[in-house]
């Protein structure tokens, strides 16, 4: 999003480019793969996470930049870089990341795995028994589903699926019809596994695997009988996967999205990956077919679909090469009593995932579905997965006659298909399904149950920083608050009314809501700390977020720093603010933590003259979250729980000297090395909260 110069008070050099900052995050993830202290199979996972992240980066971010260039746009972001300037800088940085990634894979991780009995057989080392087994596998499993496509006037270049594995084959000779095509394409069907496990015999180790690419490459000549195969090269194309829906033309969002999803896999190409043995002639030919430039070509010394290796840790039964099993704990109030409604009568409950279980949220919804006293349930759903026990409880609640309303975000990127399916099932069960407000993604995490008690209606609420997705709650750090506070319940009910109905936004008692009051309240809280500092008292801000990109917020932080406010920011991903610049941000420190779990919770703490105002939020400090989404920040009112959030979510992370990276003024990051005893926030939380 470009920012008009008249609205930007600080010069462009005081800001860091979003895309380049995001690539710095990929470097920090890659460092986990390089860390010998990380269990070996987990290092492989981190390596695959980098590939997955880069896929989405090209599908969404790079495709957007290319579209700007195509339209002749010279619009700049707050950092002042034009799209045509930015694209080559991205390409150079990605090439450097890939070089390090494949060096780690080929020279470090694969040899280390082989020493542990986890072997990936290359074609050149197959012995006679292995070759025979692999050939039989090819004949039995692969050959019947492969469709080689010779390229000639009757067979144009085929449509290539986004991120699919393909082979470009160079040929000599004539076929049975006398055709002399010198090229063909072989597409690897999605039904075939990309990594194939060999039986103990002829396998040479306890865990022996072969790549599908090796199997097809070794036997590709059998697809072209009587012709000579001069070369066979893996390739993979990444396409624009962003969806565009025109508000003016849409009458039925769900129907429109169904149509758009069919085309997502065939959007404009944005990147071509080839194996490094690919001939220059074939690489040029493929670039022409996908209308790409040489700068869009990435030549890789290994398999081109590295993401698929993410399944290996699940295929290898070696607990000693993985993180110890996670056993989430329960808050003490819920350990003593199983009736959540009764507990919430007396106190709020804070859940810290993944160290504490997500089960209380599931149990609350389950109880609401079955309890005859519960008359209504309302819930927002952004991501929940294709197999969700929460959705099943909502369906059962609707069938039990509850008034169930689900605000289901159909535009949740890459989860659209799953959400459309849930919408259909919920409606069939009798639930009210609404898709929010067109133009504003519903990203707030809200669950409201209305229960009849002693002749009156009482609200029970869950608010969270993460999605209602039971699987990701085991890997993402998030906070959830269970409460029966009347004012918070009334605020949540008002937000649901705004989303599902019509009318002006009302003033809320406790909640800050985007796109109305969230950003102004954040700015006001920052400005208040600056005023406190100017008056000679201590100003202090600590925030933990996933991204910091919104210009007005950054400028308010710069002003607060210059007023003398001490500011610590824990930003997992992209950060456009430059910390530690004399005269600009010398009182601001930015750190990022990368570890076993994905840091995901958003925490805002303002000292407020010793009052310590603490908010948890669904929103990052980005333009989209503040102005184009429906988001919530909610206060932690219970002093005891507030202290927990400040300790578990902030102080432990500020004291981490094992997995923390300090951001430098130029946007690069320096890994903090332990002085004395190593302290990892995630490890300490596992020790304190997990069972």
Last residue of a domain, one of 480, 510, 540: 510
pLDDT band at 1 (very low <50, low <70, confident <90, very high): very low
Is residue 150 in some structural domain? yes
Could you say which DSSP state residue 347 is in? -
Q: Specify whether 531 is located in the same domain as 475.
A: no
pLDDT tens per residue across span 622-660: 999 999 999 999 999 999 999 999 999 999 999 999 999
Q: Specify whether 342 is located in the same domain as 278.
A: no
CATH number of domain containing 162: 3.30.1840.10
The C-alpha torsion from 8 through 9 and 12 to 14, rounded to 10°, is: -130
Is residue 61 in some structural domain? yes
Domain total for the chain?
3
The H-or-E segment that residue 679 falls in is none
User: What is the C-alpha separation between 661 and 224, in angstroms, rounded?
Assistant: 53
| Arithmetic mean of pLDDT, 225-239 | 92
Last residue of a domain, one of 484, 510, 536: 510
Count CA atoms within 13 Å of residue 571 on its CB side. 30
Contacts of 400 (CB under 8 A, 6+ apart): 369, 370
Count CA atoms within 13 Å of residue 634 on its CB side. 28
642 is written with which tokens? 């507030």
pTM (predicted TM-score)? 0.92
* 249: pLDDT strictly greater than 50: no
444 is written with which tokens? 């707030």
CATH number of domain containing 470: 3.30.870.10
Q: Specify whether 225 is located in the same domain as 122.
A: yes
Just list the catalytic residues.
443
The H-or-E segment that residue 669 falls in is strand 669-671
**Domain region containing 659:** 513-689
Long-range pairs for 554-557: beta carbons < 8 A, 24 or more residues apart: 554/10, 554/15, 554/78, 555/8, 555/9, 555/10, 556/523, 556/526, 556/527, 556/530, 557/526, 557/585, 557/588
Q: What are the backbone angles phi and psi of residue 155, rounded to the nearest 5°?
A: -130, 85
* 549: pLDDT strictly greater than 50: yes
The H-or-E segment that residue 489 falls in is helix 486-500
Q: Specify whether 463 is located in the same domain as 346.
A: yes
| Of 440, 655, 501, 690, nearest in space to 568 by CA | 655
Last residue of a domain, one of 450, 481, 510: 510
pLDDT band at 256 (very low <50, low <70, confident <90, very high): very low
Q: Specify whether 522 is located in the same domain as 471.
A: no
pLDDT, residue 177, reads 56
Q: Specify whether 146 is located in the same domain as 52.
A: yes
* Count of residues making up the chain: 691
Q: Specify whether 291 is located in the same domain as 383.
A: no
Alpha carbon separation from 638 to 155, 609, 614 (Å, rounded): 69, 18, 10
* 480: pLDDT strictly greater than 90: yes
Q: Specify whether 196 is located in the same domain as 345.
A: no
User: What is the C-alpha separation between 13 and 78, in angstroms, rounded?
Assistant: 9
Q: Specify whether 568 is located in the same domain as 654.
A: yes
Q: Quote the crossing angle between the two packed helices 359-370 and 389-399, to the nearest 10°.
A: 10
pLDDT tens per residue across span 318-333: 999 999 999 999 999 9
Q: Specify whether 358 is located in the same domain as 264.
A: no
Is residue 326 in some structural domain? no
Is residue 600 in some structural domain? yes
Is residue 440 in some structural domain? yes
| Of 95, 109, 89, nearest in space to 17 by CA | 89
Q: Specify whether 593 is located in the same domain as 458.
A: no
pLDDT, residue 411, reads 61
| Arithmetic mean of pLDDT, 105-119 | 97
Is residue 385 in some structural domain? yes
Is residue 205 in some structural domain? yes
Q: What is the DSSP string of 230-275?
A: EEEEEEEEEE-------TTT-S-HHHHHHHHHHHHTTS-EEEEEEE
Q: Specify whether 443 is located in the same domain as 571.
A: no
Is residue 327 in some structural domain? no
């Amino acid at each position: 999003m470009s920012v008009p110069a008249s609205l930007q008070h600080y010069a462009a050099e005081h800001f860091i480019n979003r895309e380049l900052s995001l690539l710095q995050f990929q470097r920090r993830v890659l460092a986990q793969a390089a860390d010998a202290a990380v269990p070996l199979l987990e290092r492989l996972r981190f390596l695959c996470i980098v590939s997955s992240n880069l896929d989405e980066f090209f599908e969404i971010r790079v495709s957007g930049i290319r579209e700007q260039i195509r339209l002749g746009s010279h619009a700049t972001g707050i950092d002042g870089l034009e799209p045509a300037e930015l694209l080559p800088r991205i390409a150079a940085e990605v090439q450097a990341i890939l070089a390090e990634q494949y060096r780690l894979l080929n020279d470090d991780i694969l040899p280390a795995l082989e020493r542990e009995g986890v072997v990936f057989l290359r074609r050149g080392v197959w012995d006679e028994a292995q070759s025979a087994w692999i050939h039989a596998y090819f004949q039995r499993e692969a050959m019947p589903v492969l469709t080689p496509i010779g390229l000639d006037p009757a067979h144009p270049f085929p449509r290539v699926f986004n991120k699919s594995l393909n082979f470009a084959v160079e040929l000599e000779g004539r076929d049975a019809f006398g055709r002399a095509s010198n090229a063909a394409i072989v597409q690897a069907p999605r039904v075939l596994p990309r990594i194939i496990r060999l039986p103990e015999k002829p396998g040479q180790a306890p865990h022996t695997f072969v790549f599908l690419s090796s199997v097809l490459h070794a036997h590709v000549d059998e697809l072209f009988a009587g012709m000579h195969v001069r070369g066979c090269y893996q390739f993979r194309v990444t396409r624009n996967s962003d969806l565009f829906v025109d508000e003016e033309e849409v009458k039925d969002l769900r129907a429109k999205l169904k149509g758009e999803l069919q085309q997502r896999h065939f959007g404009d190409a944005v990147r071509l990956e080839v194996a490094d043995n690919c001939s220059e002639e074939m690489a040029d030919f493929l670039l022409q077919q996908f209308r790409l430039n040489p700068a869009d070509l990435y030549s890789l010394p290994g398999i081109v679909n590295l993401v698929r290796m993410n399944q290996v840790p699940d295929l290898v039964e070696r607990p000693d090469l993985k993180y110890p099993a996670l056993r989430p704990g329960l808050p003490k109030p819920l350990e003593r009593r199983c009736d959540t409604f009764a507990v919430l009568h007396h106190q709020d409950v804070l859940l810290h995932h993944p160290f504490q279980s997500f089960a209380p949220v599931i149990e609350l919804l389950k109880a609401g579905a079955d309890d005859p006293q519960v008359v209504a349930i309302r819930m927002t759903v952004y991501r929940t997965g294709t197999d969700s026990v929460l959705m099943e409880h909502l369906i059962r609640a609707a069938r039990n006659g509850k008034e169930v309303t689900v605000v289901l975000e159909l535009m949740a990127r890459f989860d659209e298909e799953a959400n459309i399916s849930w919408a259909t099932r919920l409606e069939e069960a009798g639930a009210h399904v609404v898709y929010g407000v067109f133009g504003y993604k519903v990203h707030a995490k809200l669950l409201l149950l209305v229960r009849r008690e002693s002749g009156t209606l009482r609200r029970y609420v869950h608010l969270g920083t993460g999605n209602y997705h039971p699987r990701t709650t085991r890997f993402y750090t998030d906070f959830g608050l269970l409460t029966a506070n009347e004012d918070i319940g009334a605020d949540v009910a008002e937000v649901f009314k705004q989303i599902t109905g019509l009318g002006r936004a009302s003033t809320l008692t406790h909640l800050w809501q985007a796109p109305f009051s969230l950003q102004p309240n954040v700015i006001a809280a920052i400005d208040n700390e600056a005023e406190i500092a100017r008056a000679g008292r201590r100003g202090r801000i600590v925030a933990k977020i996933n991204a910091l990109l919104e210009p007005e917020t950054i400028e308010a932080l710069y002003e607060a720093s210059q007023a003398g406010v001490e500011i610590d920011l824990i930003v997992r991903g992209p950060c456009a603010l430059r910390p530690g610049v004399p005269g600009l941000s010398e009182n601001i420190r930015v750190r990022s933590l990368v570890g076993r779990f994905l840091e995901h919770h958003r925490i805002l703490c303002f000292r407020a003259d010793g009052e310590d105002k603490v908010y948890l939020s669904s929103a990052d400090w980005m333009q989209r979250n503040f102005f184009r989404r429906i988001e919530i920040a909610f206060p932690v009112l219970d002093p005891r729980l507030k202290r927990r959030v400040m300790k578990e979510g902030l102080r432990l992370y500020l004291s981490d000297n094992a997995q923390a990276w300090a951001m430098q003024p130029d946007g690069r990051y320096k890994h903090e090395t332990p002085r004395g005893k190593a302290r990892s926030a995630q490890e300490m939380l596992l020790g304190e909260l997990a069972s």
